Amino acid sequence: MTAKKTLFDKVWDSHVVSTIENGPQILYIDKHLIHEVTSPQAFNELEDRGIPVFRPDQIVATADHNTPTLNQDQPIRDALSRKQLEQLSENCKKNNITLYELGHKYNGIVHVMAPELGVTQPGLTMVCGDSHTSTHGAFGAIAFGIGTSQVAQVFASQCLLLTKPKSLRVSVNGKLKKGVLPKDVILYIISKLGTNSGTGYFCEYAGNVFEEMSMEGRMTVCNMSIEMGARGGMIAPDDTTFEYVKGRQFAPQGDDFDKKVAYWKTLPTDEGAQFDKEYSFDAEDIEPMITYGTNPGMGIKISENIPVDENASFKKSLAYMNFEAGESLINKPINFVFIGSCTNSRIEDFRVAANYIKGKKKAENVTAWLVPGSKQVEAQIIEEGLKTVFDEAGFELRQPGCSACLAMNDDKIPQGEYCVSTSNRNFEGRQGQGSRTILASPLVAAATAVEGKIVDITKQLN
């Protein structure tokens, strides 16, 4: 009898080139995604050592972290950003790497555009110099973020030296309540498990909640795996996955596609396979979530109060946010709302927001930025008439990019201001020096923009 294997085991084991005695394994990487911020030093390293890029056709590049979200047809004003983007273009040209640069119809956030183009497929190994590479695990791929030295390793050899992580399974079963979105599911999981519970592990999400989720919802969940410390998150590929991949630009076509599907169907975790750690939650316990602190684990149900904790780091967090232990966030005035980032900038996120906003107006005190994850999402927003809804309500639809998720471009939240954000991190100063981030779903973000303050969305829904 063959050993029972997890999804993660199956994909990992089929990519091991060799194992060093008492050491790491050489893992083969199928797809390498790159962007302007974490690649220049890797290209320099290779050039300095005289090593050519080994498999340029397995690399896809995009410009996203630095890109402006206004006037993308104009030269970039910030000299350092401009230089970084120019360097990416030069490096890609020199090394025959496909680049979707600013303005290209496929340009976008790396974790939005790659799945959209069918680059992301089940059973692959994928890496990128960005921790949210875990997003692609939604397809049943092993996908994880790497440092720049590792970007150089993959350039040089299409491989990485790695020790196999341990396995973790988080199961969520039952029926989600109205208004509970995939973002709430993952924020809930992280609030229960903490920000380092996944460190050293690859996480599989299982249960009917994920089986019934759309691909975009699965991407939101897997995207935030890194926020509980896990290198990656995965969801078993199924018909939803195959349907999504089918027909996309880089997806296998015709017979090839059918053959791949037959293989992809063998990937799900075998019944009885062992995980190093398991957690399970009831879907009924999950409600719309918000964060109150400075890491994504500091989240509560929107109707709950901030907990009381004597830990010094906890108190430092609350002091930064200017919140009190034990208080509710309901009715807190909010002046900034950001719907975007690789977590929640896909078409479904904008549909949810538009559906809520339709016929309403943004509160006067609020600046509301909507930043699509890619040019294709932007086009879809316009095509589906969502832009009209946003315009009429006073929301500002900007051009695609990472934007105010990490504020490397001009989209910064001012010092001391709160921003209800659909992004993935509420770290100190993440959205601009001194800014205060409250993470939430696109629905909660839209409601905040309309009300000008945090409201208990569950009351509106029931």
Smallest gap from residue 415 Cβ to another protein (A):
6
Smallest gap from residue 136 Cβ to another protein (A):
14
DSSP 14-47: TTEEEE-TTS-EEEE-SEEEE-TTTSHHHHHHHH
Smallest gap from residue 401 Cβ to another protein (A):
13
Helix axes 79-94, 40-49, angle to 10 degrees: 50
The nearer residue to another protein, 232 or 288, going by C-beta atoms, is 232
Q: What end-to-end distance do the CA atoms of the chain give, in Å?
A: 52
Smallest gap from residue 197 Cβ to another protein (A):
10
Smallest gap from residue 45 Cβ to another protein (A):
8
What is the enclosing helix (H) or strand (E) of 329? Answer: none
Smallest gap from residue 162 Cβ to another protein (A):
9
The nearer residue to another protein, 40 or 400, going by C-beta atoms, is 40
Q: What sign for the dihedral angle of Cα 154, 157, 158, 159? A: negative
Q: How far is residue 72 from each of residues 34, 101, 102, 285, 410, measured CA to CA in Å?
A: 20, 11, 7, 44, 13
The HSE-up count of residue 299 (CA atoms within 13 Å, CB side) is 33
Alpha helices by DSSP H, 322-397 = 347-357, 375-383, 386-393
Smallest gap from residue 30 Cβ to another protein (A):
8
The nearer residue to another protein, 81 or 441, going by C-beta atoms, is 81
Under 8 Å CB-to-CB from 105, ≥6 apart: which residues? 375, 376, 379
Q: What sign for the dihedral angle of Cα 322, 324, 328, 331? A: negative
